[in-house]
Amino acid sequence: MDDGAGEDRLSFLGRPLPPGFELRLVVLPPGCELPFDEADWRDALVVVERGELELECIGGSRLWIACGDVFWLRRLGLRAVRQCGGEPAVLVGVSRRGP
């Protein structure tokens, strides 16, 4: 029986990437806030490898994401990414290498 936290979960950690792709790893300690810059995440598929995060939009709305969630940060109108759990949150983004 799969509990959602096992082998079927997408993870980019500990795997080689194909040529032409790069990995960005961000670790946010509890209570930490990362100002959002869309250019830092351009074209990236992002996985929450550990922890929970709050995405704060410019208009004030908030989205909550947790371990195992896969998403894209483009055109969300974000202001900040905030760690909201008791353990460090780990985000991994994979994108195509620039020219």
- What does CATH list as the number for 23-96? 2.60.120.10
**pLDDT at residue 99 in the model:** 67
Reading the chain (99 residues) residue by residue, the pLDDT tens digits are 334 455 678 888 888 999 999 999 999 999 999 999 888 888 899 999 999 999 999 999 999 999 999 998 887 889 999 998 889 999 999 999 876
> pTM here?
0.82
DSSP string, 31-86: T-EEE--GGGGTT-EEEEEESEEEEEETTS-EEEEETT-EEE-TTS-EEEEEE-SS
